[in-house]
Amino acid sequence: MKKHPSITTESGRFFLSDRIREEVNFWVTPQSQGAPPPELQKPVPPGSTLIPLPDRASWSIAPCDLVHAIAHRESRRRFSQTPLALDELAFLLWASQGVRKELHPAAVLRTVPSAGCRHPFETYLAVQRVTGLVPGIYRYLPLQHALVRVGEPDDLPARLSAACHGQGFVGQSAVTFIWTVIPARTEWRYAEGSYKVIAIDAGHVCQNLYLACEAIGAGTCAVAAYRQALVDELVGADGEEEFGMYLAPVGKVVAVP
Ligand SMILES: Cc1cc2nc3c(=O)[nH]c(=O)nc-3n(C[C@H](O)[C@H](O)[C@H](O)COP(=O)(O)O)c2cc1C
């Protein structure tokens, strides 16, 4: 196997194992040393207008059998031109990152699990076809169940595709979920023991999105092949304290003739 200069087979397998737990001194993590926990959600720039999302009680989403959703889940790379309704988008956001209970000011429980309840992700949306939303880049605010608009890039289809190494189907999505990570949220508790559990956390988020898509006649495809700098630029992440980690283009499925 060709060696990457910074990742060896040994270091990669070490990452996958849990041997780091025997090496981290948990007495000197930021949490153990009394540092305040990082914010649960990236702050909203002053003066921003929040776009409230429909509450769960108002969604017109038909009940979906879980067994059916699991049995039919697959990676879908062909999307129709049909837009997503705003309550459908609200449902997908809730299913993948929604808050289900406030534990205390420093921790909330969500619809997905997260190691140490640290929830290190932010969700950005590259919106192209969602009823009621002007195309552009938005960020989900789980604490308010709202969106904030963060950018209006030109030529979103081309930029999305280029940011994913030319995977054209990403640019054809109605909306692409772009998850960034803020590692400090998990490092506060687990220090160097954070990185494997952050990667595991991301899988839960995307699988819930897959299942929720099945419930609304939509489809998605996990995308981990992306160009770091282009994704970070698209969402305005600094690439150090916050950077892109995973994407999932979503659209209504093309009807089978
Ligand atoms: C972590 C991860 C990364 C992936 N990255 C890509 C990708 O960049 N492009 C793509 O077309 N599919 C990607 N996939 C989708 C897989 O190819 C797909 O899950 C696999 O072929 C099995 O098909 P299924 O999901 O329909 O069962 C990814 C899946 C996972 C879980």
Residues with CB under 6 A from ligand 1: 74-75, 167, 221-225
Q: pLDDT class for 135, splitting at 50, 70, 90?
A: very high
* pLDDT at residue 257, as a whole number: 59
pLDDT reported for residue 106: 87
Query: What DSSP designation does 134 have?
Result: -
Share of the chain above pLDDT 70, in %: 98
**pLDDT by residue (tens digit) across 211-255?**
999 999 999 999 999 999 999 999 999 999 999 999 999 999 987
Shortest-distance atom of ligand 1 to CA 206:
31
- CA distances to 132, 181, 204, 245, 254 from 127, rounded to whole Å, are 11, 20, 22, 18, 19
pLDDT of residue 3: 64
Report the nearest-CA residue for atom 20 of ligand 1: 75
pTM of the model: 0.97
**CA nearest neighbour of 112 among 202, 243, 36:** 202
Closest C-alpha residue for ligand 1 atom 21: 75
Question: How does DSSP classify residue 139?
Answer: E
- Mutate which of 72, 223, 247 for ligand 1 pocket (most atoms within 8 A of beta carbon): 223
Query: Which residue blocks in 103-238 are alpha helix, DSSP H?
Result: 156-163, 168-171, 184-190, 194-215, 228-235
> 74 C-alpha to center of ligand 1: Å?
9
- Ligand 1: distance of its center to the CA of 44 in Å? 32
Mean pLDDT of the region 154-182: 98
Q: Percent of the chain at pLDDT above 90?
A: 92
Distance CA 186, CA 189 (A): 6
Tens of pLDDT, residue by residue over 13-40, are: 999 999 999 998 888 899 999 999 999 9
Q: Which atom of ligand 1 is nearest to the CA of 165?
A: 8
The pLDDT mean for the chain works out to 95
